[in-house]
Amino acid sequence: MAIITVENFELEIKGVGDGLQFKSVDLPAYKTDVQHGDALMSGAKGSVRQTLTKKREAAVQITLVTLASGDAKSTSSLMRKWLLQCMPKAEDGGGFPTSARMAEGVIKSYNSAGEMVDSWKMSGVWICKYQIGKLSADGGLLEETFTLQVDQFDPA
Q: Could you tell me the residue range of the domain that residue 60 belongs to?
A: 8-28+55-155
Q: 44: which residues sit within 8 A by CB, 6+ positions away? A: none
Domain membership of residue 2 (yes or no) is: no
Provide the strand spans (E) within the chain: 8-13, 17-20, 24-26, 60-67, 103-110, 116-132, 143-155
pLDDT computed for residue 99 by the predictor: 65
Domain membership of residue 33 (yes or no) is: no
Domain membership of residue 50 (yes or no) is: no
Domain count, the chain: 1
Cβ count near 100 (within 10 Å):
21
Q: State the Cα–Cα distance between residues 104 and 16, nearest whole angstrom.
A: 10
CATH of residue 82's domain is 2.30.110
Cβ–Cβ < 8 Å for 55, 142:
no
**pLDDT tens per residue, range 48-96:** 555 545 444 567 889 999 999 989 999 999 999 988 888 877 777 777 6
**pLDDT tens per residue, range 84-127:** 888 877 777 777 666 667 789 998 888 888 888 888 899 988 88
Domain membership of residue 35 (yes or no) is: no
Domain membership of residue 143 (yes or no) is: yes
Domain membership of residue 84 (yes or no) is: yes
Domain membership of residue 100 (yes or no) is: yes
What are the residues facing 10 on neighbouring strands?
108
